[in-house]
Structure 1
Amino acid sequence: MQLFNSRLLRERMQRFSFPAGGEFKKKINVIAKWQKSLRDSDLSKTKEISIQGLFLSKFFGEVLGYTTQADGKKEWNLTQHPGNDIDARIPDGSLGFYSSDKSATKAVIELKDAMTSLDRRQSARRENFTPIEQSYLYATKYDGCNWIIVSNIREIRLYNKSKTQSYYESFNVLQLEEDEQFKRFYFLMSKDNLLGDGALSPLDELLQTSEAQEKSISGDFYSAYRELRLKLFKHLRENNVGYDSSILLEKAQKLLDRVVFILFCEDKGLLPREILKRAFERGVSSFLDSDQRVWLEMKGLFKAIDRGNDKVSPPINGYDGGLFAYDGLLDSLRIGDAIWKEIVELAGYDFESDLNVNILGHIFEQSISDLEQLRSEFDGLELHTSRANRKKQGIFYTPENITHYIVENTLGRYLEEHPDRLPVIRILDPACGSGAFLNQAHTYLQKAWKSAYEQGEIKSKDARYGTLFDYNPAENDRTILLNNLYGVDLNEESVEITKLSLWLKTARSDEPLENLDRNVRCGDSLVQSREIAGEKAFEYRKEFGKVFEEGGFDIVIGNPPYVRQELLSPELKEYCSLNFETYSGVADLYVYFIEKGLALLREGGYLSFIVSNKFLRANYGKKLTGYIQKNYTLVELMDFGDLQVFEDATTYPCIITIKKTIPEGPMTFKYLRLETLEVADLRAELEEKGYEVTITPDSGGWS
């Protein structure tokens, strides 16, 4: 995802004075010579150390305007740091304000050769960091250093220390002679913008403004979205007497899911522009004697999106997948023309620049809580704050730096140990909510495929799985969605929103949506008994039979519900007492999710959850810690103490990472007690400030 709001970036670039005339030609010539060397010479095969100085002087000196000490000035902006290729502890270069008596670093630079993937773990480096992770660690060593630049001389990336590694600006060196590409590169990377002349550079200000606008726009959108859902629900109740309120709420949400998907695809160029608005206008201007003229047009549009329509201009791709599949009950409902005017007003939001997939994910997470509250308020139909209901349901939005850390720390470790399992890795979130962890896992797997391609490792056929290792983003999406990602949730709306979030992320103009019904399921992850859970009783070995034929899930990740034991029913407690070794009458629900998740792993697999840290100190936790020590290997424990990770909730969380291997002798794991939430890269923080703890059965504690 991009660091900056694309609309805001375009506006700033329009007001910027770019190099012109001879100065512009000189910079383009430098880039063109480098491109020629990449295409026609052995530069692409040259080791990183031998080209670092040349790359820095050409791109950062001659093109971007940074000065070095060798230029003979009292102050300079670019410094190269000579180091060794195996275990360097400093970056290859840095940008800032330097003189004989001053050193203020604002950006670190890490350089690799053209054969190195920026997203691949480096086996020769400590902790097997990727070049990106390595660079984040470097940035923490300099006070006031917020910017991170990483390159393999083919691609240059710009990161900010306050954001996770999912956010960056990328520049393809082989495309920099193109006018728009050069302008974006120069605007974001030049000395005048990245460094400026004070504490807050133009680039710092641009990021702050982007973040403020994102927060404001996403808040405005969700307020409009929430109010619209309530109005639509009321409209359906008033015009469809005799239907169960729960069914009408489900259909109202489904209708809005379809609308959001259409608007998102319009702005991404995946559907014809303003197709929803045009359907509305056709309905309004229809001569039919009906107050449902717009609804008739919309049903036709939904059918066209589901099946495709090449008779219109431009043609509509058939998305299939289930979201737009025929729904007889929905189609039979009366939906008057008046409500559609308000629905179509959502088109006023910019889904290309202002409402990206990640922002929509946050909105969907909040949506789940509000839906549950609505179900409990069918009589009053008055929407209050959902804080109390979130507490009852144990649902809390997981911050992105935590989902990023959990995914990178489990998938990264596992694929490093088992690289051949990339096409068939099985990843489960047993309480998937809005799909935040599954979306993060999808991002990681796409990077893993791209990295394998860049390293030249995906040209042969795998004898065991019969899978052609070939880098094709569309085909990789299909593999990831159908073979790699699995989710279960007790909440039906959560299941549908998880599928929607994955569809939004992977939709393409020439491909159908993948049907996710087999992989993302509604059910009770803890209970197999119909007597306790009714229709939501869930038997993993039955529902995901193929996974367990191969030994189980490779990875189990997530944020299990935060439900205190006082809120558990007597029936559920009795069931847990008979089915969980870690049962205690006063244990909270997450304890059983940990035991269940571990049971679902294949040998050598990893589990990582963010859960309450109460088990580390409470008496009921002794059963859980003893169970883990006896049967598994604790890898890492990151304790947030009393930091308030979740908005409106004090949950005292920790992140626990466990490997399914029986320990031999004393068990050593990495431990960190976090002192602040202002950490974008938790893995770098663990490496920098964490320490090893060795435990035995007699240790008496883990922290």
Structure 2
Amino acid sequence: MDKKTAQLLIEDTFNNAFNEEQFMVFTKNLLNDLESKNNFYTGNLIWDDYKEHINTYKRIGKYIDPEGEALDVLIVEVKSLTKLERARTALRNFVIKHLSKFEKDYALVAFYCKEDGGADWRFSFIKLEYRSELDEEKGKVKLKKEFTPAKRYSFLVGKYEKAHTAKNQLLPLLQNIANNPTIEELEAAFSIEKVTDEFFSQYKDLYIKLYEHFENDRHVKSAIELAKIDNTRFTKKLLGQIVFLYFLQKKGWLGVPQNEHWGTGKKRFVQELFDQAKAERVNFFKDKLQYLFYEALAKERDNVNSYYERFDCRIPFLNGGLFEADYDWKNTNIIIPENLFRNEEKNKSGDVGTGVLDVFDRYNFTIKEDEPLDKEVAVDPEMLGKVFENMLDIKERKSKGAFYTPREIVHYMCQESLIHYLDNALCENVEKKDIETFIREGHFTLENDERVATKGETKTYRYQLPESIRQNADLIDRKLIDIRICDPAIGSGAFPVGLLHELVNAMLVLKPHLSYDYLTEKLKGFGFEHRESVSDSRYIYRLKRHVIQESIYGVDIDASAIDIARLRLWLSLVVDEDDLDPIETLPNLDYKIVCGNSLISRYALDIPINDVFVEFNKKIKDKNYVNTTIKELIGKDEVNLEFYKKITNDFLIESSHEKKNLFRELIKEIKSAFRSNLNDKEKMKLSKARALVENLQTIDMFGKQTGTVKEITQAKKSLRLLEKERDETLNGQIYKDAIEWRFEFPHLLDDKGYFIGFDVVIGNPPYVGISKVDYKDILEKINYETYATTGDLYVLFYENGYKLLKSKGNVNLITSNKWINASYGANTRNFFAKKTNPKLLIDFGKVRIFPNATVFVNILMLEKSNADGKVEAVTIQGDHLPVIPLQNYFQDKKVSLSIKGEEVWKIGSSKGLIINKTIEEKGLKLKEWKNIEFFRGITSGFNEAFHIDDTTAKNLISQNKKNENIIKPLLRGKDIKRWMFDYHDLYIINTHNGVREKGIKPIKVETEYPEIYKYLLDYYDESSPKSILKSDGTYQTLKNRADQGDHWSNLRNCAFIKEFENPKIIWIEISDKANYAYDEKGHFLTNSAYFISGENLKYLISVLNSTISDYYFFQITAKIAGGRKRYTKQYVEQIPIPVISKQQQIPYEKLVDYVILAKTKADDIVYRFFESLLDGIVFELYFPEEIKSAGKEILKHLGDLKPISDEMSEEEKLTVIQSEFERLYDPNHPVRFAIETLDSVEEVRIIKEALK
């Protein structure tokens, strides 16, 4: 399909209300070979669990991709718009149930609702994921689903949405009519990462254009400088404010008619405001946006319904600070030309319009936050977090951006910190494994457990959350509600927002099991009563507000980062506020998310604080104190700790602009009562400097000064510098950016004013050398134990974070991993080993976590408790993250590491890392080899019908010799062994569905193979004699099976059906070691096996079955239950195999022939010898120099091996093998010597020991 036609197809489908016929046209063109279906379900045919969500659903098609993976195409009519937008988990679970019933792993689904005529709908890709576990009783490995391990990716489409993203990502698939898309390609089309990268690039361009306008327009620059506005911060905040408006109008909160409800506003209010400005010939920013920002949204109005007369509509008063002016906006003449908002310029992609509104209009904005299992391919708060983080370091055109911590890393670290916190807080009332299930998988149980709590347990439904969690739900809830978290380098707020989601999810999961609502009492004590319309404290908005106001703290030295972090938290809150009238104001976060240097403080955390209040009370009682408003606010009472806590608490919810400024002034006055004192070390330095000057100026008995003029001058200069430092210390000048933790966060103090500390300190601190910061001298004064002039700033964050913890609290940071081995890391290692209790270390080795940076990183979690001299640690192997979850990788690979003082931390052996690197460098990943293809065995949908034994096969062939054409030998996964297979006289009836692109027609079983058709009729439907009654009361039949072709008697589409008859490498999916076999007899395989067809197969199997291949495979995968591994395509294709010439492959191919025959026909000693010999020459492929220098070469001494061929009899072949065995097994032959002593080569020994 040409590009223009494809674009029109996408626009016709996705820029309009849902239309079933149009959707079918689109999916048929997208998938090329879509097999049409017409299964319709409504009323009682909808499962009971989903009747409240679903009206009807249709299965309109089935698709088999080129690799044999099956996908269903569905249309689901949802009951209401609320269900479409809010019931994401229920809708996802509904499709999971469908996929499970029809034995599929993938679906493309259109979700729509008739309430709005299908105007807004979702186009989703849903995939099931499995884990394997061992059935101990049967000794079999089976696939078992997690609670609801499906992922859903959705495009927001419809009448009021833009198709820009869908067009960009689906266009290549529509244009490629020559090839059917693979499931992998379909999933990639729903990639959120592509959208994020594109949006960030354009967002950065918008920033640069605005920044340069403010710099280059002399009138505007003069106005900005006069108003003392920082251009960088102002520009970033402006873009953030406009983004926020897009979310507000998406919620229908802007432009609401005077007497209408919130949510009924204009979805294009901002754009219409621009059009008004243009029509009125006024400046959009100066005359419209500023009034919207700093008056409509920022000021409380007396009228009940927030009516704003200037715009003749309701505009919510939001408070919070985002729209609080920090300059005299009415008297500052900032003009932004309209072409920076809208224009007709084309960008690199050919899109028209490069202005702010042009760019934002092209993207879909969603008010649902990204979840790990449900992602909307649109601009959501999570994506903005990544964009904002990358914007932090951008100040001008040459800037490159900061490091954004990937979501999966944030997710893992947040969960680990919570698990560790609860494990300590619950005092062994709950096993750690249950806590891990609760935090990592608990949200999968909520829907089920709420049903059980309401209707009671049944055979089908019973509680899924661990019993110990349910029994201790009230205690766990209290601990989660009372947690205190800090990110000391908050950036855009990725970690606090990550913990916000984890905490809210956990508290929601507990809801069905609570007997006491601790949160409600907590909120009342906080003075925050529930609205009548929201009586449930487990309402997501209420939970989020509590966590933001009570649990989260953050610091950053960059004021722009603080703006962005607050914006990110406010966004997270706003998206979940519904059914509230009036809309609640945003919380003030001035004393929660604070600008300052978290590494610098004047005062220790454990000194008395009451002296400060005594000093302040003296100050305000002084007759010369003139600030009467402060006196009036305080009244007759004296200021004390309780009073200070109250005013900072009141500030959080204060909405009056005047009162907020008064609070700020009072808090500033109290903090100014601090007086710095010199510590003993500083006093001693000053004393010594004075004494030196005096001594040098002393007149000796001969009338001469003791010191030279030069010495005296230098000594006086040093004294003056120390005296200057003293003065700056005493007046607080050097601490102007310092964070005084107790005064910034008074709610972390006990009744006596002592710092209680945080439960969790988490983050991604700056990657910069100490020598490069302008406050390095102050850091040296503070006497950090980990300080080193050549060190990095992040090590101080570990130490400071540790000091800020409560007892048993944890600090969890992702930082550079240089400290592990670097000489300047000695102080750091000593501090970790002797002063802290390290709990977890993940060294990412050579994995580039931050794509735009060369820094290599680790995650380290420290507990504030007595050191025990050890830590559980792991190093990620290779140059990419493992495909399995990080927690699984850690559990499987972790080692207990002993740590002592300043010694380097050695995780495993450094030699092991070198070995892995060598394997990767010497080999080419199997997926990159040319002329080979991966396939999976065939899925019949009803094995009892299509899989037949030898007797049945002979009977069918005896009836008609022609039947032999489609009765093919069959291997099950369990039949496949190492090098060979055990054939059990099983067959498959290959009634294939044809392969259109190869000119292969489907088999018409009824007319071409009537005897087989008659045989299959016994399995046709419920009345058939061989239909199978299942445990749920339904029948398994050929007619109702999920996987079928054009006719019920055909197997499902299989584009590679002919590949089964070619030579191939075959293997079972789940095994304890490499078990690859060579098949050249045309066996078909069941879907529990995989195969490779193509060229160089005997050479490839020689490497795949080698020790070195299994060693590497075990490095990149995790064990499943029973200690086994999953040998699926995604893992096997990662194995690096050296590319050698056809001539060089010859000895490998001959030895493969020897080994295959010797395994079954020769003595075991012969088989074992040749397998060891083959293994040895594979080692030579990867470590030729090491083996040569050790004198253990094999290939050079092998000689010309005699070939065996198909023309030979078995006896002749065995004679050749025996002859070569006797030659090479001679005790004096260098080959035997090399094989038996190969372990003396260090690399070989390490690899073999690792597999034991």
Q: TM-score, normalised by structure 2?
A: 0.40
Distance in 2 (alpha carbons) for counterparts of 1:276 and 1:481:
28
2:296 to 304, 313, 326: 304
Alignment of 1:491-502 (within 5 A): 491-502=558-569
CA distance in 2, matches of 1:614, 1:525: 22
* Residues 150-161 of structure 1 aligned to structure 2 (within 5 Å): 150-151=146-147, 156=148, 158-159=150-151
Paired residue secondary structure (1:247): coil
Tell whether the 8 Å contact from 2:771 to 2:789 is kept in structure 1 after alignment.
no
Deviation at 1:590, TM superposition (A): 1.1
CA distance in 2, matches of 1:589, 1:37: 55
Q: Give percent identity, aligned residues only.
A: 24
CA positional deviation for 1:204: 5.0
Structure 1 residue runs without a partner (length 5+): 1-5, 39-59, 67-74, 79-91, 99-103, 108-133, 140-146, 160-166, 171-197, 375-382
Task: Report the equivalent of 2:846.
Answer: 642
Taking the TM superposition and a 5 Å limit, the aligned residue runs for 1:427-466 are 427-453=485-511, 455-457=512-514, 459-461=516-518
User: Could you say which residue in structure 2 is the equivalent of 1:514?
Assistant: 587
Match for residue 358 of structure 2? 345
Aligned position for 1:673: 876
- Equivalent-residue separation in structure 1 for 2:789 and 2:541 (angstroms): 49
2:379 corresponds to 1:355: yes
SS in 2 for 1:686: helix
* Equivalent of residue 206 in structure 2, options 225, 232, 243: 225
Q: CA–CA distance in 1 between the matches of 2:833 and 2:419?
A: 23
Alignment of 1:554 onto 2:759: yes
Instruction: Summarize deviations over 1:522-553 as a string: whole Å, max 9, x none.
Output: 00011125667553111112211211437211
Whether 2:748 is the aligned partner of 1:544: answer no
**Aligned partner of 1:527 among 600, 611, 619:** 600
- 2:469 is matched with none
Distance 2:180 2:832 in 1: 49
Identify the residue that residue 1188 of structure 2 maps to in structure 1: none
Deviations 1:57-110 (A, max 9, x none): xxx9x98999xxxxxxxx9989xxxxxxxxxxxxx99989x9xxxxx9968xxx
Contact 1:488 1:525 in 2 (8 A): yes
Q: Match for 1:210 among 186, 191, 216?
A: 191
- Once the 2 structures are TM-superposed, how far is the Cα of residue 603 of structure 1 from its aligned partner? 0.8
Distance 2:243 2:198 in 1: 15
Map of 2:407 onto structure 1: 400
Distance in 2 between residues matched to 1:653 and 1:275, nearest whole Å: 45
After TM superposition, the structure 1 = structure 2 runs for residues 467-478 of structure 1, keeping only pairs within 5 Å, are: 470-478=537-545
Match of 1:412 in 2: 419
Deviation at 1:269, TM superposition (A): 3.6
* Aligned residue number for residue 393 of structure 2: 369
Once the 2 structures are TM-superposed, how far is the Cα of residue 512 of structure 1 from its aligned partner? 2.2
In our comparison, the structure showing a higher alpha carbon Rg is 2
**Aligned-partner residue type, residue 368 of structure 1:** L
Contact 1:321 1:514 in 2 (8 A): yes
Q: SS at 2:788's partner residue?
A: coil
Cα displacement (A) at 1:580: 0.9
Q: Which residue matches 1:263?
A: 246
Query: Could you tell me how far apart the structure 2 residues matched to 1:638 and 1:219 are?
Result: 29
Provide Cα deviations, 1:552-573, integer angstroms capped at 9, x if missing partner.
111101111111244245x624
Partner letter of residue 544 of structure 1? Answer: F
**Is the alpha carbon distance of 1:229 and 1:458 closer, same or farther for their aligned partners in structure 2, counting shifts above 3 Å?**
farther
Question: How many residues were matched structurally?
Answer: 558
CA distance in structure 2 between the partners assigned to 1:215 and 1:575 by the alignment: 38
Q: 1:452 to 1:264 in 2, by over 3 A?
A: same
Displacement after TM superposition at 1:688 (Å): 2.9
Give the equivalent residue in structure 1 for 2:267: 273
Instruction: Return the alpha-carbon distance in structure 2 between the equivalents of residues 583 and 450 of structure 1.
Output: 43
Counterparts of 2:815 and 2:502, CA distance in 1: 22
Q: Secondary structure at the match of 2:41?
A: helix
Whole-Å Cα distance in 2 between the matches of residues 605 and 204 of structure 1?
A: 44
| Alpha-carbon distance between aligned partners in 2 of 1:346 and 1:235, rounded to the nearest angstrom | 23
Deviations 1:601-623 (A, max 9, x none): 11111111111111111233222
Partner of 1:253: 236
- Within a 5 Å distance, the mapping from 1:109-258 to structure 2 comes to 138=132, 150-151=146-147, 156=148, 158-159=150-151, 201-202=182-183, 204-211=185-192, 213-215=194-196, 217-234=198-215, 237-241=218-222, 243-244=224-225, 247-249=229-231, 250-258=233-241
Q: Distance in 1 between matches of 2:831 and 2:770?
A: 20
From the superposition, tell whether residues 248 and 567 of structure 1 become closer, same or farther in structure 2 (CA, over 3 Å): closer
* Other structure's SS at 1:503 match: helix
| Aligned-partner SS, 2:562 | helix
Listed one character per residue, the Cα deviations across residues 239-259 of structure 1 (whole Å, up to 9, x for unaligned) are 352643972413333322211
More deviation, 299-308/273-282: 299-308
Q: Please give the alpha-carbon distance, in whole angstroms, between the structure 1 residues aligned to 2:38 and 2:815.
A: 60
The structure-2 alpha-carbon separation of the partners of 1:461 and 1:439, relative to structure 1 and needing over 3 Å to count, comes to closer
| Amino acid across the alignment from 1:210 | S
Whether contact under 8 Å (1:149, 1:158) holds in the other structure is no
Q: Which amino acid aligns with 1:494?
A: A
Cα contact 1:292–1:334 (8 A) shared by 2: no
What is the distance in 2 between the residues matched to 1:403 and 1:440? 6
Contact 2:833 2:869 in 1 (8 A): no
Say which SS state the counterpart of residue 384 (structure 2) adopts. helix
Letter aligned with residue 246 of structure 2: L
Contact 1:305–1:317 (8 Å) recurs in 2: yes
Q: Return the alpha-carbon distance in structure 1 between the equivalents of residues 418 and 769 of structure 2.
A: 30
Following the alignment from structure 2 to structure 1, what is the Cα–Cα distance between the partners of residues 15 and 872? 45
Instruction: Give the deviation of 1:456 after TM superposition.
Output: 1.8
Q: Distance in 2 between matches of 1:282 and 1:637?
A: 58
Aligned partners of 1:694, 1:8: CA distance in 2, in Å?
61
Q: Give the direction of change, closer, same or farther, for the CA distance of 1:574–1:328 in structure 2 (3 Å limit).
A: closer
Aligned to 1:41: none
- Structure 1 match to 2:861: 657
Task: Tell me how far apart the structure 1 counterparts of residues 223 and 291 of structure 2 sit (CA, whole Å).
Answer: 26
Q: Is the 2:403–2:850 Cα contact (8 Å) retained in structure 1?
A: yes
In the alignment, the residues of structure 2 paired with residue 547 and residue 698 of structure 1 have an alpha-carbon distance, to the nearest angstrom, of: 34
Asked if 1:421 is matched to 2:499, the reply is no
Distance across 2 between alignment mates of 1:580 and 1:328: 39
The DSSP-based 3-state class of the residue aligned with 1:282 is helix
Alignment match, 2:552: 485
TM-score by length of 1: 0.69
Q: Please say if residues 433 and 498 of structure 1, whose CA atoms lie closer than 8 Å, have aligned partners that are also in contact.
A: yes
Q: Contact 1:461–1:467 at 8 Å: present in 2 too? A: no
More displaced stretch, 625-634 vs 268-277: 268-277
Tell me if the contact between 2:520 and 2:537 (Cα under 8 Å) persists in the aligned partners.
no
Does the 8 Å contact 2:765/2:794 carry over to 1? yes
- Is the contact made by 2:872 and 2:894 (CA closer than 8 Å) also made in structure 1? no
In structure 2, what is the Cα distance between the partners aligned to 1:608 and 1:148?
32
User: Distance in 1 between the 2:906 and 2:515 partners?
Assistant: 42
**Counterpart contact for 1:560–1:593, Cα < 8 Å:** yes
Residues 13 and 424 (structure 1), Cα distance of their counterparts in 2 relative to 1, 3 Å cut: farther
1:599 to 803, 821, 844: 803
Which gives a bigger RCO, structure 1 or 2 (Cα 8 Å, sep 6+)? 1
Q: 2:39 aligned to 20, 23, 30, which one?
A: 23
- Provide the secondary structure at the position in 1 that maps to 2:307: coil
Secondary structure at the counterpart of residue 510 of structure 2: helix
For residues 502 and 431 of structure 1, do their structure 2 counterparts lie closer, same or farther at Cα, with a shift above 3 Å needed?
Answer: same
Counterpart CA distance in 1 for 2:877 and 2:869 is 25
Shift of 1:236: 6.2
How much has 1:212 moved relative to structure 2? Answer: 6.5
Helix, strand or coil for the counterpart of 1:369? coil
